[in-house]
A = this chain, B = another copy of it.
Amino acid sequence: MELGVCYYPEHWPKETWRPDAVRMKALGLSWVRIGEFAWSRLEPRPGVLDFEWLAEAIDTLGAAGLKVVIGTPTATPPKWLLERYPDIYGVDAQGRRRGFGSRRHYSFNSPSYWRESERIVTLLAERFGAHPAVAAWQTDNEYGCHDTVRSYGEHDLREFRAWLKRRYTTVEALNVAWWNVFWSMEVNSFDEVELPNLTVTEANPSQVLDFYRFSSDAVVAYNKMQAEIIRRYSPGRLITHNAMGFFGDYDHFKLAHDLDAITWDNYPLGMLEESPLPDALKAHFLRVGHPDLISFNHDLYRGVKRAPFWVMEQQPGQVNWASSNPLPAPGAVKLWSHQAFAHGAAVVSYFRWRAANGAQELMHAGLNLHDGSPDRASQEARAVADELAGLTPAASQQAPVALLFDYENLWATNLQRHAKAWDYWAIELSYYLALRAFGLDVDIIHPRMDLKGYRLVVAPALHLVDEALATHLEDYVAAGGLLAVGPRSGFKQPSNIVWAPAPGPLSRLMGVRIDHVDALRPGISGSVTLGGADFHYQTWADLLSPTTAEVLATYQTPAYAGVAAITRQRHGQGACVTIGPWGNPALHLAIFSDLLSQTGLPHDLLPDGVRLTRRGGLTYLFNFNPHQAEVAEEAIPPHSVVIRAGVDG
């Protein structure tokens, strides 16, 4: 468990580098990320390279005992490069070229940009790959930020057609897979396929889903290209990329496959402000963020590679990019740092060393103020470093519960919401919140990953399924596992064509048939009876027709009163529970209380805003409330954490 910081030597006079490095070390930092936006300084003009300053910076940092992460500078190609190769620019869904003047002004499908990216990454890796202070690399920066995964230009179209040809071989197969007979959308050659933007009304969802897959694959391939170059010239160094919170435009499981570790950028206050949470929660957690929004991402990125992750950028104070940007509470930076470690982080790296004096992020705080003097976060980082010294967690263990997350299900359900409030992230979070309220540690993993060892596996919306996945889940249950699947599960094939009837190959495991769903407008709720008590749900309800399953709960909603709402089907040594409605929090607590009781896992309900996390023998109790909390006979001050060794609360 180490700390780090993001540093931009190119922003500051050379004479400050050494004192900066010394102070970093003194604060207890071990890692420094540099270089990821510096292309215009590394190659100021066509063919004119200037790597000397970077070499000096690395030397300086290394001399102070710091380990360096080099970021490849491909998120910000310089203007002269765009002048030479204007095909690099991406095109937005409205058909407009997205111009120069900020960052990420490139399409992943531009051949020029692939070639230029290979060139600059190769030059950097050749030059610095073997430097003793260089201990890790970051490819590019925040792939997809500002809606840049999907681009709608001519290169994108050409590559999309090529991708489709690889996927379907014949155009007849594509027409079948997309059900193109509908509305005469059939094409006679791959060259007749268009991008799914600017259609008269919604495009074919099968086409859109494939376009999302194609766009995700382009990111993965581009990243793999960078990673392979670096691996060739810089063996033994960790290669990573910094992902973002609640960002799903590409498949992070696939991206992570080509990396040594995944990292992500944790901005709790901006994340809360831009979230769909109600105003009352935004007010309550104003200055520390919502604990589960944050840890959902920790648990997801830990799950993406089933390995320790990093927080590559940790909010150190006020950010600049949310619609409103409050000051964090005193102690918030410390709270966030320990929370990351508790959820499995190997490194927490603050963004940034010193606040920028100009340009887009001048109102973003750093560990130091604009004038270079220490900001509050310096003290908190120092305190974290001190506390880490006393904590040595054992190797992380698998959590008792797995929450299944699949980017393809995110894409497929969110592009056909059917109910205005449907959102895959939101239903995933609603299950996660219930589990976390009961103090459970949760692994967020892909449905096709190995499920052995989990006492409970839950899938809020296991939408796209095939025979192989059904068999995989049956194996888990047959061996004694408890699987709970939520609304919209088993509805479609991977092509986005429905299973008729639903839930297709999951029928054996779920023991139900689903012919009808209800999709409710915001403000409308339905009711369900579970264990003799009444509960409410909203947005979505699958109506279950049990074939072999037993009924655990029934709907009371007049239009379908008496229909099964929750069922259980025994299978081998285990069981599968099907949850039809998207419950409100009370219903979810009731459901998960039942499920957890079946597993025998302890699950005492925690006070609101209090969270419990375990890591390798350490137990963390977090209080995200602005008031003191009492839990397990422990008083936890506002906005703080209590860490116990060897105890399992």
Known A101-B204, A418-B320, A519-B318; judge A40-B96 contact (CB<8 A): no
- On whether the beta carbons of B101 and A185 are closer than 8 Å, the reply is yes
Complex: how many Å from CA A94 to CA B99? 12
Contact of A104 among B187, B200, B370 (CB under 8 A): B200
B521 touches A183 (CB 8 A): no
| Given A420-B323, A517-B318, also A559-B183 (CB < 8 A) | no
A184/B357 in contact, CB under 8 A:
no
- Which residues of B are found within 8 Å of A418, using beta-carbon distances? 320, 324-325, 363
Residues of B within 8 A of A78 (CB): 184, 186
C-alpha spacing A559/B324, complex, angstroms: 16
Interface string of A539-552 (1 = CB under 8 A from B): 00001000000000
Most buried by B among A184, A372, A495, A519: A184
* Interchain CA distance A323-B375 in the complex, whole Å: 48
- The listed residue (B101, B317, B320, B325) touching A207 by CB distance below 8 A is B101
**Judging by beta carbons under 8 Å apart, are A515 and B101 in contact?**
no
A293-350 residues with Cβ-Cβ distance < 8 A to B are 317-318, 320, 323-330
A535 within 8 A of B: no
A279: contacting residue among B104, B359, B502, B523, CB under 8 A: B523
CA A418 to CA B325, docked complex, whole Å:
6
Q: Does A77 contact B (CB under 8 A)?
A: yes
Contact B199 A100 (CB under 8 A): yes
Compute how far the CA of A522 lies from the CA of B324 in the bound complex, rounded to whole angstroms: 8
For residue A85, which residues in chain B have a CB less than 8 angstroms away from its CB? none
Verify A501–B40 contact, CB threshold 8 A: no
Interface presence of A640 (CB below 8 A): no
A357-B497, A359-B182, A363-B416 known; A516-B203 Cβ under 8 A: no
**This chain's copy number in the assembly:** 3
Q: How far is the CA of A372 from the CA of B515 in the complex (A)?
A: 11
Q: Is the CB of B76 within 8 A of A184?
A: yes
Q: Is the CB of A183 within 8 A of B495?
A: no
Question: Which residues A20-57 have CB closer than 8 A to chain B?
Answer: 37-41, 44-45
Which B residues are in CB contact (< 8 Å) with A282?
521
A97 close to B (CB within 8 Å): yes
| B contact residues around A534 at 8 Å (CB) | none
Query: What chain B residues lie within 8 Å of A329 (beta carbons)?
Result: 558-559
In this complex, the interface size class of chain A, counting residues with CB under 8 Å from chain B, is 35 or more
A543 to B326, CA, bound (A): 12
A41 to B11, CA, bound (A): 59
| Complex Cα gap A96–B206 (Å) | 24
Q: How many Å from the CB of A341 to the closest CB on chain B?
A: 24
Stretch at the interface among A110-118, A188-196, A223-231: A188-196
A16 adjacent to chain B (CB < 8 Å): no
Q: In the complex, are the beta carbons of B323 and A370 less than 8 A apart? A: no
Docked complex Cα distance between A438 and B638 (Å): 43
A518: interface (CB < 8 Å)? yes
Complex contact A521–B104 (CB within 8 A): no
Closest CB-CB distance, A558 to chain B, in whole Å? 6
- By the criterion CB–CB under 8 Å, are B358 and A182 in contact? yes
Shortest A94–chain B CB gap in Å is: 7
A199–B323 contact, CB under 8 A? no
The answer to whether A648 has its CB under 8 Å from any CB of chain B is no
* A359 in contact with B102 given A186-B78, A200-B148, A326-B520 (CB within 8 Å): no
A560 contacts across to B, CB distance below 8 A: 327
Residue in B76, B192, B517 whose CB lies within 8 Å of A83: B192
State the CA gap A319–B628 with chains docked (Å): 50
A185-B101, A327-B560, A523-B279 known; A358-B497 Cβ under 8 A: yes
A-B contact pairs, 5 of them (CB 8 A): A179-B359, A183-B359, A283-B523, A323-B521, A371-B500
Add 15 more A-B contacts to A100-B194, A324-B420 (CB < 8 A).
A41-B184, A100-B185, A102-B204, A104-B201, A148-B200, A179-B359, A204-B360, A320-B418, A325-B519, A326-B518, A326-B519, A326-B559, A358-B496, A358-B497, A371-B500
Which 4 pairs show the lowest CB-CB distances between chains A and B? A179-B358, A370-B500, A40-B184, A182-B359
